[in-house]
Structure 1
Amino acid sequence: MSTKPSAATRTPSLTERRKAATQFDIARAAAELFTERGPDGTTAEEIAARAGVALRTFYRYFRNKQDAVGPLLAVGGDHWRERLAGAEPGTALPRALEAAVTETLTVPHEAKAEGLRWTRGLLRAAAEDPALRAVWYRVNRESEDRLVPVVARLAAKDADPLEIRLVAAAATDAVRIALEVWAESDAGLDGPGSPADLAVRCLRELTGGMRLLTGSQED
């Protein structure tokens, strides 16, 4: 058996960490400018200047200005999968999903609150910007793909691959829809109508009849 660590478990190299940090700096700069001026009123040059990088550096990482916010929009999904992946084997999958969603979208400190506020601003901007919406949908599709092996690890060994894919898709859509509905509202970061509250409601509605989560089997 190979002892080489997988991409999911190995520690990123210093170069990879620096690259990720630069991408996130650019993403935050783009989000700030989109919030201030809207995507139409922002240029790639302005984003690069706000982030303190050369324009060629911007285009080394991103195809266009809307693409630049992808790392910021992906943070929540990354944290959610990490928490779900950390669930003990044998933990009931419905409980693990709800716990991971709740923990990720609950706001114990300012850094997480800031991230959700950025997401709200970007989703509101995306309502009038098809290219920005496309980035949001791409981020969610990539998150869904990465969620599949995490769900598979927590599911029974003989679980149907189709059901695993359905759970990953439903769970991803639950969070996506919750954030979109919250972004359109004036609800706060906690309590009724908050991201965590809406995500759990969506998760229960979308996964309530799935055999993989209820344990029921066809005759």
Structure 2
Amino acid sequence: MNEKPPTLTARRKAATQLELARAAARLFTERGPEATTAEEIAAAGGVALRTFYRYFRTKEDAVAPLLTVGAEHWRALLAASDRSVDPLLAIEHAIATALSPSDGEDPGGPDGVHWMRGLLRAGVDDPALMNVWYRVNRESENQLRGVILELAGSSGDDLTARLVAAAATDSIRIAFEAWAETDDPDKGPGSPVERAVHNFRRFSAGLGNG
């Protein structure tokens, strides 16, 4: 069953939320969450404070759309995988593709991975911000389970799908968290993509024997 495309209103709302998320990530990185107000995020995103609170409960919640976009992108890549490929290999490929900048892409652009380091560093002293990070990861893991079950077809089972979804999600989460603690580059050795693929290979070595 094909889903209906989002309405123009829904697309505009999503675009506004993403712009606010980018503004929040930038301000949190530059000043820290404690020194940043919801009013400043709203102003940077070009909306009134009342509009901001229609979309988000707290200032920390504002970064969620930016995190969610990345998670949705890599799940979409996985869902489009060749069904003849082993699901574990398909997941590894989707992680590598999603976290690797495209040719000509500016890693310092609005959706590059550069902002993740500052955001995670800011979250060290802000439990509310880290709660948003963990919540988005948990939501992504739950949605990923369905994609994995579809890829596995008749040979799939829910428990294995849960384990694989957890392994894939945590591979990426831990990669970003470990990378944020360093000054390693966005690309190449020590980058998030290298770390995430390495993590998943370690996890999947055990999962493949299940």
Structure 2 residue 175 is matched with structure 1 residue 178: yes
Equivalences for 1:70-219 in 2 at 5 Å? Answer: 70-108=64-102, 109-110=105-106, 114=110, 115-210=112-207, 214=208, 216=209
Q: TM-score, normalised by structure 2?
A: 0.94
> Which residue number corresponds to residue 6 of structure 2?
12
1:66-93, Cα deviation, whole Å (9 max, x unpaired)? 0001111222211110100110222211
Q: TM-score, normalised by structure 1?
A: 0.90
Measure the CA separation in 1 of the matches of 2:154 and 2:140: 23
How far the C-alpha of 1:207 sits from its partner, in A, is 2.0
Structure 2 residue 59 is matched with structure 1 residue 62: no
Secondary structure, aligned partner of 2:85: coil
How far the C-alpha of 1:156 sits from its partner, in A, is 3.8
Measure the CA separation in 1 of the matches of 2:92 and 2:109: 20
Aligned residues: 207
Measure the CA separation in 1 of the matches of 2:187 and 2:41: 31
> Which residue number corresponds to residue 48 of structure 1?
42
RMSD: 1.5
How far the C-alpha of 1:110 sits from its partner, in A, is 1.2
Answer whether contact 1:113 1:189 (CA < 8 A) is retained: no
CA distance change for structure 1 residues 166 and 113 in 2, over 3 Å: closer, same or farther? farther
The range that moved more, 135-144 or 185-194, is 185-194
The range that moved more, 102-111 or 194-203, is 102-111
**What code does the residue aligned with 1:165 have?**
R
Which structure 1 segments of 5+ residues have no match?
A: none
